Each structure stands twice: as structure tokens, then as C-alpha cells.
Structure 1
Amino acid sequence: MSSFPEFDDRQHEYKQAKEINLKEVLQVLKRYVWIIIFLTIFTTSAGAYYSFTTYTPMYQATSRIIIGADASLITTLKVIIQDTTVLEKVVNKLELSYPPEVLSNKITVGSIENSQVVTITVLDSNPEQAATLANAVAETYKEEIPKIMDFKDVKRLSDAKVNPIPINQDRNKTVIIGFIGGIVIGIGIAFLLDSLNNSVRKEYEVEELLGIPVLGSVSKMKKKNMQKKKKKQARFEYRSETLGS
């Protein structure tokens, strides 16, 4: 036996309350399961529709150049790569249908840490076009930078290659978000509707409303239960008749 009976009683009451709360949660979910299922199907379908109708595969290609300068000068030279002075030449050379400002938004200029290697990365919906643009920008920059800053120490390190794999090929992300969101929203609405429902469903609710203890309750009559009772009664009568004879 425990030397702390009061603690044991409290622990027992806590376990009972926890079990009751868990049962109530499961009952609420079961009562409004059709809402949860409907919202989950709706949000998942909406996510799938949005993903497959708005999805555009994007491809990336990178060209590398070497700039023979110190870190501070390289920073300045990198900025000029995306300047309209250089990109306008690229637009005219490739006869692009959009202005230099649009081309600038497709380009990301970076550098490998502690080196003179500068990367020119282009993002486009066409993999061949992405590689063509990256190489054209690198070549045009090498040609134009001596005219702009009288700087000639720029070398092509590697050309951009066509990458047939899109960088945003994961289209299931929106579908998964829609699925999880539907479940969360459905559960939230289920508990909201349950809190707004003022009907009396539990014995303790009757006790709280009337202020008197409940001595007993009548279980819900179901067709399945009635059939079981009839079968049991028929078996009992059959046995009684057999024993009597």
C-alpha cells in the first residue's frame, strides 16, 4: 500500500479526467467527421488544381568567369554585369522580345568565396534559352567591360550547359499543404460547432443544469442491439424448454 493515499486519489482522479477528455475529443471528431472529410477533399483538390494549372517549369544555367581584381573592385565589376549598358547589347545580339530590365530579373550574379570566380546564373522557362542567355551575358560582359572601366582582365572559365531538370519540379508541395490545411480547418470547425451546440448529451451536464445527481440512464436503442437481445432471449427460452422437457 502507498504511504500517500491522498496523492494516489488525486492521481487516480487525474487519470480518469484525462480518459474522459480523450473520449470526448474522439466523440467530437466522430460526430463531425463528415465535415473534416469534406474540407480535406476540397482543399486537397483546390491545391492540386492550383498546382497543375499554374505550374511552369523553370530551368537554371550558370556561366563562370574569372575577374583578376581585388575583392572591392570585383564587387563593383559584378554590379555592371546586370546593368542595362551590358544587357542591352545582349538583347540586341539575341533579338530578344523583352527589354534589358526583364533580362536583368532573370540573372543572378554571385561569386565563389575567397576566389576571383564570378558566376552568372540565368533562370528561364526554356533550358536551352537559359544556357544561351548565360553564355551571351558572360561573353558580352567580357567585350564591354574594357570600354566601360578600361578593365581587361576578364576570362571565361566555363560555359553554361543545358540542364533538362527543372529546379521547381516538386509540384506536390501545394497538394500536401492543402491536405494538411483541410484536416486542421476541419478539426477546428468541428470543435467550434460542438462548442456552439447547447444540447445536453452527458450525465454530468444534467447534474450541472438541475443540481441533482443522476441515478441512472437509458442507453440508446439501436436496431442492431435489439436483434442481439432477441437472439439471446430466443436462446434462453430454447434452453429453458429443453431443460423442462
Structure 2
Amino acid sequence: MEETIDLRQLFGTLKKRLWLIALITIIAAMISGIISFFVLTPVYQARTQILVNQESSEQQPLNAYTIQTNIQLISTYNEIITSPVILEDVVKKLNLNVTAKQLSGQVQVTNSEDSQVAHIVVQDTDAKRATDIANTTADVFQEKISSIMSIDNVSVLSKAELADSLNPIKPAPLMNIAIAIVVGLMLGVGLAFLLEYLDNTIKTEQDVETILELPVIGSISVIKDRELEGTRVTPTGANHAVRGETYGG
């Protein structure tokens, strides 16, 4: 006989294990909240913009070819900004407790497609330090690029501001809790169905019909102990209810 999925049975399983699903979900959300608020260290982000644009002159007017060259140079500049040549000076100027290689993991350079503007993005556990690193990196790069590339076409478009870096970008507690709730629900539902699958005890007439594939022709009701209280068997074998009555010896 082919097995069919009974939606009522599925919903019945969820209803029966609802307490378990809710408990797992609440525990997952609480753990996520505790870790997000009290365990994970906040990370702040600062951003400095630099413009790659050589000034035009009468001898070398600004044209589409020059702009395209500047755009192509940004890829090279991205590598130079995160190189030890630049970051070692940043470490010395700010007296940082990290190496240039470690600092390169905190510095990222991005730019939009076909844009002459590059963004120096720095992440750090201290907002002020992140701002100082971003601005100092831009300054050092602007100073050194003329000697490295024999070209002077970099200017700082906007410096990182401490006020803009005060809100941590991670962790995101609300997002983490929302994810934990979804995961908790999935785990709770999965565990509920697993327990139901492993439970092979017979509890109802429907279970008998499902397992034995036979119709139920009768059932014996459960008589609770309190229903038997105050009953006695007479010598003739007949049962008489004696609730509230006292019989002498």
C-alpha cells in the first residue's frame, strides 16, 4: 500500500511538538543576542576618497584618452596603496602596534566602474583609529606616488570623518537574531518530525489502522482510579456505587 502524506497529520505533529519548536527558537535567539551584544567585538569603518586626475595644461590638454588612462591606473594604485611601501609609513606615523602585512588586511581599495574616484576603506575595532589610518594612508600615498610612478595625478577628494565612523558595521545584532530565529525554527521543526518518526508506540485507533491495515471494531475505554473510588462488590457479585455512603462492619 502506497504511503500518502496527510497534511492533518503533519500539522498535528507540529501542534504536538509546538513547545519544543518554540523552546529551540527562543534558545537560539537568546544565544545569538548574547554573542552579538556581549561577546563579539564591534568593528568600525572609515572611508577616504581620492581622485585620480592629472591636471590639464596648454601643452597637455585634458581629453578622453587622458581620463581613460587615469581610470586604468586605478587598478595599479589599488595594489600600491596596500603595499608595504605605503603601509609601513602609515604604521610609523601612527605608531601602530601592527605590521604592514597585518594592516593590509584592514585596508581595502575600491572604485566604481569607469570612475576616477577610488575609496580607501579601513576597518578597525576603534573608530578613531580607523579614521586616522584611512586619512594617513591617503596622505602617504599622495606624497609617494609621484616618486613611485613618476606622475602626479592623485588628490584627496574627501577625508574620513570620525562622526561618520561611530556606528559599528558589525556585528549586526538584529540581523543575527533574525537569522537565529529562522535557524531555530528549522531545527525545531526538523527535530519534531524526527521524534515523531522514531516514536513507534500505538496511541490511537488510527495508529492501529495505519500499522496493521485492519479496521478497528471496538475499543476499551480507560477507567481512571477516581471513577472506581467508593465502589464495592456485594456478595452476589453486583457492583453498587457507594459514593458518599458509609457501611458498617
State the TM-score, normalizing by the size of structure 2. 0.71
* Aligned position for 1:181: 183
Which region of structure 1 is more displaced relative to structure 2, 131-140 or 184-193? 184-193
User: Residues 208 and 23 (structure 1 numbering): CA distance in 2 closer, same or farther, change over 3 Å?
Assistant: closer
Tell me the distance in 1 between the aligned counterparts of 2:72 and 2:212.
Answer: 82
* Aligned position for 2:201: 199
AA aligned to 2:78 is K
Give the deviation of 1:28 after TM superposition.
Answer: 2.2
Checking the alignment, whether the CA contact within 8 Å between 1:61 and 1:131 is kept in structure 2 is: yes
SS of aligned partner of 2:190: helix
* Aligned position for 2:135: 135
Tell me the distance in 1 between the aligned counterparts of 2:198 and 2:218.
Answer: 27
Runs of 5+ unmatched residues, structure 2: 54-65, 228-249
User: Residues 173 and 214 (structure 1 numbering): CA distance in 2 closer, same or farther, change over 3 Å?
Assistant: same
* Aligned position for 2:93: 93
User: Residues 143 and 52 (structure 1 numbering): CA distance in 2 closer, same or farther, change over 3 Å?
Assistant: same
Q: 2:32 aligns with which of 38, 41, 47?
A: 47
- After the TM superposition, which residues 119-134 of structure 1 pair with which residues of structure 2 at under 5 Å, given as runs? 119-134=119-134
SS of aligned partner of 2:45: strand
Sequence identity of aligned pairs in percent?
34
Which region of structure 1 is more displaced relative to structure 2, 143-152 or 35-44? 35-44
Runs of 5+ unmatched residues, structure 1: 1-16, 227-245
* Aligned position for 1:155: 155
Q: How many pairs are equivalent? A: 206
Aligned CA-pair RMSD: 2.7
- Are residues 1:72 and 2:72 paired? yes
User: Residues 168 and 222 (structure 1 numbering): CA distance in 2 closer, same or farther, change over 3 Å?
Assistant: farther
* Aligned position for 2:56: none
User: Residues 28 and 151 (structure 1 numbering): CA distance in 2 closer, same or farther, change over 3 Å?
Assistant: same
Give the deviation of 1:61 after TM superposition.
Answer: 1.6
Q: 1:215 aligns with which of 199, 214, 217?
A: 217
Tell me the distance in 1 between the aligned counterparts of 2:28 and 2:100.
Answer: 40
Which region of structure 1 is more displaced relative to structure 2, 74-83 or 27-36? 27-36
